[in-house]
Chain A
Amino acid sequence: MSKRKAQQVKEDLIVNLVPMVDIMFLLLLFFMLGADMSQREQAELVLPTASEIKENEKVKSDEPTTTVNIQHSESAGGKCPINASGGYCREEGHWAVVIRGREIPRETLREQIKNEADASLEPDVDPLAGVRLSARKLIIRADKAAPYGDVNKIIEYAGTAGIYKIEVGAAVPPKS
């Protein structure tokens, strides 16, 4: 009788871990699928907001695309007190152009965009331009505080390289 009682007490103390393991597995699965471990083509920057933008559509997998990011660079500008305080840093050289996670020096930027354009030329000569234009789409993602001159330069380089499909990125404003 007393032995039975002792066994009963022992059984009550056993913690069933199975539901916990199940839930942790589910959580793990959720975070693993949600985590983006791919090579980041899109740098983390604060985009300007615009209410009239078209939300991102699924990019056709066969459409050649290059994303050009313009961001304030710690490596180029070091610790910038103006940027850190949320001001508009206009220091030349503090803004970096990043393509596929790699900072492109200003001197080679035109060449880089030209190479991108040449990598996917359209098969036929364009009757308007008289040359083979590039089928590549250029997406410009510039930080909201980035100087307009840098964006303009990229558009100019793209135009001279034969890229005519350009998109500028912006963020959807938070719903109030």
Chain B
Amino acid sequence: MAGAAMGDDGENPVNINITPLVDIIFCLCVFFMVSFKFKQLEGKFDSWLPKGKGSVGSVQIEGILDEVRVAMYWDEVNQRTIRQLGTRRIQSDEELAELIREGHDAWVKMNKPDTPVTIDAEARVPWNDVIAVMNLCKKNRIDKIEFALGAPPPTGQ
């Protein structure tokens, strides 16, 4: 490679050597190409905390809770999350979605449409599985989702 490349020397007496320029641009191009990364498309779930309850800490609840409670606990041996609604263990997402919908509809019929779905997950449960339950609730048009800490021990089938 040489400078010129721009016609006859006779016509253009000023000969600019563009080789270093090409080299540097090439290096810069390689640098940016290697460091370039397409961003994963992200989104968010809004989850406002109730105002005025934040500083109270754990709340003592008496009587029957108006909620659909999904319990989740971590099976260390099989490395998977076990989900339970009431005393029933859930095998698939479809089954859970169906049960959440039925549970929520029952509260709606009792004139309590604001009844939340409470996710009661053990601390070791992977975040992925909690998001999956939130996603199922959103699919069922349930916007009121609450979190609780500490799942109860599994009971029966």
**How many A residues have CB within 8 A of the partner chain?**
66
- A87 interface hit (Cβ, 8 Å): yes
Surface stretch bound by A, among B22-30, B62-70, B83-91, B98-106: B22-30
Q: Tell me whether B44 and A168 are in contact (CB under 8 A).
A: yes
A171 within 8 A of B: yes
Question: Known contacts A21-B22, A52-B139, A128-B51: does B121 contact A148 (CB below 8 Å)?
Answer: yes
CA distance A3 to B121 in the complex (A): 89
Size bracket of the B interface: 35 or more
Contact, CB under 8 Å: B149 / A17: no
By a beta-carbon cutoff of 8 Å, the part of chain A in contact with chain B is: 11, 14-18, 20-21, 24-25, 27-28, 31-32, 34-36, 47-56, 70, 87-88, 90, 126, 128-131, 133, 139, 142-152, 155-156, 158-172
Chain B residue contacts of A52, Cβ below 8 A: 45, 135, 138-139
Chain B residues with Cβ below 8 Å from A166 are: 46-49
CB neighbours (8 Å) of B129 from chain A are 148
Nearest opposing residue in chain A for B130, CB measure: A148
Asked if residues A56 and B43 are in contact (CB atoms below 8 Å), the reply is yes
- Within the complex, the shortest CB–CB distance from B24 to chain A, in Å, comes to 10
Given A164-B51, A170-B45, 17 other A-B contacts at CB below 8 A?
A: A16-B5, A24-B29, A28-B29, A28-B32, A54-B45, A55-B41, A144-B131, A145-B128, A147-B125, A147-B127, A148-B72, A148-B130, A149-B124, A152-B147, A158-B54, A159-B53, A169-B44
Flag if A144 contacts B5 (CB, 8 Å). Answer: no
Whether B18 and A17, one on each chain, are in contact in the complex, defined by CB atoms closer than 8 angstroms, is yes
A148 and B48 contacting across the interface, CB-CB below 8 Å: no
Q: Please give the distance in Å from B50's CB to the nearest CB on chain A.
A: 7
B123 touches A56 (CB 8 A): no
Assess the B26–A149 pair: CB atoms within 8 A: no
Closest CB-CB distance, A166 to chain B, in whole Å?
A: 5
Would B128 and A144 count as touching, CB distance under 8 A? Answer: yes
Check if A32 sits within 8 Å of B32, measured CB to CB: yes
